[in-house]
């Protein structure tokens, strides 16, 4: 019940395309859903996050869509750039106590 599922495992997108990564959870106590971006050899960095009281949050080219009833959320990267090539992790937390990460999606954006 603590698991967060993430797909796809890897994703290849052409420059300018839309990258979509999906996550699903079971624990209805989760109330915070961040996305992290990790470049090789670096630590994960917070990209964008959402709480379940809204269905969408947009920051620049990055958008989180949240479906509370389906217990799913997704990250959309518009106008994908080669510099976006990284591993993306979704995560879920309940009041900061339990913090669970998805297994990650390796994104490659081709020039």
Partner 1 sequence: NAGVMQNPRHLVRRRGQEARLRCSPVKGHSHVYWYRQLPEEGLKFMVYLQKENIIDESGMPKERFSAEFPKEGPSILRIQQVVRGDSAAYFCASSQEQGGSTDTQYFGPGTRLTVL
Contact residues for partner 1, defined by CB under 8 A:
32, 34, 36, 42-46, 49, 89, 93, 95-104
Task: Return the SS3 of 10.
Answer: strand
Ramachandran area for residue 74 (φ above 0: left; ψ -120 to 50: alpha; else beta): beta
Least Cβ distance, residue 76 to partner 1 (angstroms)? 21
Rounded to a whole number of angstroms, the minimum distance from the CB of residue 96 to partner 1 is: 3
Kindly tell me which of 50 and 109 has the beta carbon lying closer to partner 1. 50
Peptide bond between residue 8 and the one before it cis (omega within 30 degrees of 0)? yes
Cβ nearer to partner 1, comparing 15 with 51: 51
């Amino acid at each position: 019940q603590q698991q967060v599922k993430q797909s796809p495992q890897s994703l290849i997108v052409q420059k300018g395309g839309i990258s979509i990564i999906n996550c699903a959870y079971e624990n209805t106590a989760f109330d915070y859903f961040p996305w992290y971006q990790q470049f090789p050899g670096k630590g994960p960095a917070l990209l964008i996050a959402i709480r379940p009281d809204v269905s969408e949050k947009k920051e620049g080219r990055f958008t989180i869509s949240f479906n509370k009833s389906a217990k799913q959320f997704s990250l959309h990267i518009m106008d994908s750039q080669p510099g976006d090539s990284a591993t993306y992790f979704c995560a879920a937390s309940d009041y900061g106590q339990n913090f669970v990460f998805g297994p990650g999606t390796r994104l490659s954006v081709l020039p």
